[in-house]
């Protein structure tokens, strides 16, 4: 957990001055009972009004100084903890973006969200408490014991006896709660996963009238989390009442023994009051310590999960070697006996794939569902690295191509159309931040979405809801295509990204791309024969195996599967 404090190094001043001002406040608080004793013994008991007022004013002045110290400490604690959380989230997000798809698949979206939010919030709280209370609470506890010995040795022993009793109880509860808090975080992950699936599949759930079953599943997961919280909270809640019982028992003992010593003249009435105040201070400090234990126990569990993410080494290691980044080499893309197996999968998703693609050529990829078409796009994008064989991009082995440089040359339109909340223009600028309005309109025209965009009152500034939910499926696909085109990529990957379009629009887009961007290399993955029929090369896949490679006419003669696909589709719709 301490290793994460490196993310708070820019707040060294706050980490030092915050506890310092809290220490000053604790010192003043320890002195107050002595002045209270003087007020009682030298003022009220002696009938000296002037001394009473003097001590009261001194106590008021010390309290005001203590208040100022507390305010300064609270400010530094808030500044440091929030800054620490911001820095940690930044590095965690940077790490998540550096992970390959295999690591992201292994973790899952729900746990990444929980670690980014709930876990870091726990660490922020722990750092704030570290600055505000970690020095103050032990100092008040130890200081109260010292002041008790200063007043009377016998009474000081009572203070000493209570510490090991409290420490034993604290250790037992900590030992029980740490594993439970880790389990609670896992239950939060499960709740987030269930909630995500329910929200994403709400249309499917409603279409099958499965709302009661969905609610039942969610209630089960929610109740499971509630039960885990109750178990750990019941144990943690024991700290405060047990601490109060021990300390109040000690106060009763002080009053009993103190009354005898007052009668014998060994203690004054003011000193007994001071001892009770010191015992109360130690009581409150130990209760704070017990609460800190709960906070730091949660933080320890959260720190373990965050550190696990930060220490994860990506499967795909990028390099910064000097390479020929012109994208003029031939072949531009080459697969030589490439095979690939997904992590934790028993079988190969792709087996012995071979093809070459020159600059300006178009490759069509077709095959039954689950045949490995999208996997080829993932490999070219280096979302995963190949398992066997050799894949070169621009004549460079994929393992040696820096992912950042590689993706600058790629324009990808994935199967699932994803738009981000903002405007149409902000989504287009993700492809090219320097694009002008003229370039935006040109990309929209190529993607066949100029007509519906210009019909909107705000045009390029038209709002886009999260996931583009205010646009139809076809409109989202075309906007995603425009976002890729505006990048002017050397290689355009269309991963079944025209499936929501009618045949005419599909044909117009392909025609425009061929005429306006003839030098752009294109890979079209599609279930439609019409979308790939005019491609320079067509790769046919079946169950991860390459079962055909050639032009449309060649495959119609040599590939049984291609012939079956052609026969299954209406030739009248094939352009």
**Helix orientation angle between 136-151 and 153-200, rounded to the nearest 10 degrees:** 160
* pLDDT of the residue at 363: 92
Q: What is the pLDDT of residues 214-256, one digit of tens each?
A: 888 888 888 888 888 888 888 777 777 877 787 778 778 877 7
* Class of residue 252 by CB neighbours under 10 A (exposed 0-12, middle 13-18, buried 19+): exposed
- The 10s digit of each residue's pLDDT in 525-560 is 988 888 888 889 999 998 889 998 999 888 888 888
Mean of pLDDT over the chain: 84
- Going by pLDDT thresholds of 50, 70 and 90, the confidence category of residue 274 is confident
Cα separation, 375 vs 364, whole angstroms: 14
Range scoring the smallest mean pLDDT among 5-14, 401-410, 547-556, 564-573: 564-573
- Is the CB of residue 137 less than 8 Å from the CB of residue 289? yes
Write the CB contacts of 189 (distance below 8 Å, at least 6 apart in sequence): 108, 110, 111, 114
pLDDT of amino acid 64: 92
DSSP string covering 108-128, please? -HHHHHHIIIIIHHHHHHHHH
pLDDT of residue 72: 93
Residue 375: Cβ-neighbour burial (10 angstroms; 0-12, 13-18, 19+)? buried
Task: Provide mean pLDDT across the span 302-320.
Answer: 80
464-488: average pLDDT? 87
Mean of pLDDT values over 347-375: 89
Q: What ranges in 136-210 are assigned the alpha helix state H?
A: 136-151, 153-200, 202-207
Classify residue 346 by burial, with Cβ atoms within 10 Å: 0-12, 13-18, 19+: exposed
What tokens were used for 388?
Answer: 């066997």
Which residues face 518 on adjacent strands? Answer: none
Domains of the chain: 12-311 (1.20.1560.10), 328-409+492-575 (3.40.50.300), 417-488 (3.40.50.300)
Return the pLDDT at 574: 42
- Model confidence over 162-203: pLDDT tens digits? 778 877 887 787 777 777 877 887 788 788 888 878 877 777
> Could you write out the DSSP letters of every residue in 331-384?
SSEEEEEEEE--TT-SS-SEEEEEEEE-TT-EEEEE-STTSSHHHHHHHHTTSS
Q: What angle do CA 502, 503, 506 make, to 5 degrees?
A: 90
- Tell me what the mean pLDDT of segment 372-395 comes to: 88
pLDDT (0 to 100) of residue 52: 84
Q: State the helix-helix crossing angle for 473-485 and 503-516, rounded to 10 degrees.
A: 10
Q: What is the spatial distance between Cα 460 and Cα 428, in angstroms, rounded to a whole number?
A: 9
- Kindly state the tokens that stand for 286: 């130990």
Query: Given this model, what pLDDT does residue 321 score?
Result: 67
Q: Which pLDDT does position 572 carry in this prediction?
A: 43
pLDDT of residue 68: 93
Report whether 396 contacts 390 (CB < 8 A).
no
By the 10 Å C-beta count (0-12 exposed, 13-18 middle, 19+ buried), 148 is classed as: buried
Give the model confidence (pLDDT) of 88-143 as tens digits: 999 898 888 888 777 887 787 778 888 888 889 989 998 998 888 888 888 888 88
Q: What pLDDT does 575 receive? A: 42
Contact between 466 and 410 (Cβ < 8 Å): no
| Alpha-carbon torsion, ordered 32, 34, 40, 42, to 10 deg | -120
* pLDDT for position 339: 92
User: Is the predicted pLDDT of residue 357 greater than 50, yes or no?
Assistant: yes
**Crossing angle between the packed helical segments 136-151 and 12-38, to the nearest 10 degrees:** 30
Percent of the chain with pLDDT over 70: 97
Span between the terminal Cα atoms of the chain, in Å: 62
What letter does residue 314 receive in the DSSP assignment? P
Cα–Cα distance, 390 to 398 (Å, whole number)? 8
pLDDT classification of 75: cutoffs 50, 70, 90: very high
Write the DSSP assignment of 37-104 as a string of letters.
HHIIIIIITTT-HHHHHHHHHHHHHHHHHHHHHHHHHHHHHHHHHHHHHHHHHHHHHHHHHHS-HHHH
């Amino acid at each position: 957990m301490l290793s994460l404090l490196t993310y708070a190094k820019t707040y060294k001043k706050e980490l030092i001055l915050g506890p310092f001002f809290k220490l000053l406040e604790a010192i003043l608080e320890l002195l107050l009972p002595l002045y209270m004793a003087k007020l009682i013994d030298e003022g009220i008991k002696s009938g000296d009004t002037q001394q009473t007022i003097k001590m009261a004013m001194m106590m008021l002045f010390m309290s005001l100084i203590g208040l100022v110290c507390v305010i300064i400490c609270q400010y530094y604690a808030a500044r440091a903890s929030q800054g620490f959380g911001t820095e940690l989230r930044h590095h965690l997000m940077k790490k998540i973006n550096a992970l390959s798809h295999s690591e992201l698949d292994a973790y899952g979206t729900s746990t990444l969200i929980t670690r980014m939010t709930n876990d870091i919030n726990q660490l922020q709280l722990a750092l704030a408490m570290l600055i505000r209370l970690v020095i103050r609470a032990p100092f008040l506890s130890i200081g109260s014991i010292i002041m008790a010995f200063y007043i009377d040795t016998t009474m000081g022993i009572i203070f000493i006896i209570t510490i090991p009793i409290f420490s034993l109880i604290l250790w037992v509860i900590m030992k029980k709660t740490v594993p439970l808090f880790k389990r609670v975080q896992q239950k939060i992950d499960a709740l987030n996963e269930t909630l995500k699936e329910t929200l994403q599949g709400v249309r499917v759930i409603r279409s099958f009238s499965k709302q009661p079953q969905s609610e039942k599943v969610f209630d089960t997961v929610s109740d499971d989390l509630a039960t885990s919280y109750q178990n750990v909270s019941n144990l943690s809640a024991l700290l405060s009442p047990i601490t109060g019982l021990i300390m109040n028992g000690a106060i009763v003992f002080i009053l009993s023994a103190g009354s005898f010593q007052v009668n014998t003249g060994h203690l004054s009435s003011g000193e007994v009051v001071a001892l009770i105040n010191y015992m109360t201070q130690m009581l409150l400090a130990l209760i704070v310590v017990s609460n800190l234990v709960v906070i730091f126990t949660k933080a320890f569990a959260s720190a373990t999960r965050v550190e696990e993410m930060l220490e994860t080494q990506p499967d795909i290691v990028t390099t910064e070697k000097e390479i020929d980044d012109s994208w003029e080499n031939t072949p531009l893309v080459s697969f030589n006996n490439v095979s690939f197996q997904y992590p934790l999968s028993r079988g190969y998703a792709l087996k012995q794939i071979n093809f070459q693609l020159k600059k300006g050529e178009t490759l069509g990829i077709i095959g039954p569902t689950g045949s490995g078409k999208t996997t080829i796009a993932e490999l070219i994008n280096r979302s995963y690295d190949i398992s066997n064989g050799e894949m070169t991009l621009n004549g460079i082995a994929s393992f040696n191509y820096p992912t950042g440089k590689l993706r600058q040359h790629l324009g990808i339109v994935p199967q699932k159309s994803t738009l981000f909340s903002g405007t149409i223009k902000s989504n287009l600028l993700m492809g090219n931040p320097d694009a002008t309005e003229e370039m935006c309109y040109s990309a929209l025209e190529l993607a066949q979405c100029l007509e519906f965009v210009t019909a909107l009152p705000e045009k390029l500034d038209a709002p886009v809801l999260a996931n583009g939910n205010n646009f139809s499926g076809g409109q989202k696909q075309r906007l995603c295509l425009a976002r890729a085109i505006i990048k002017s990529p050397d290689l355009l990957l269309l991963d079944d990204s025209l499936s929501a379009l009618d045949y005419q629009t599909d044909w117009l887009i392909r025609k425009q791309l061929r005429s306006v961007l003839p030098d752009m290399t294109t890979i079209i993955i599609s279930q439609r024969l019409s979308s790939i029929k005019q491609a320079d090369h067509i790769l046919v896949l079946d169950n991860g195996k390459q079962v055909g490679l050639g032009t449309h006419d060649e495959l119609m003669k040599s590939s049984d599967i291609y012939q079956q696909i052609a026969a299954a589709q209406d030739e009248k719709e094939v352009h």
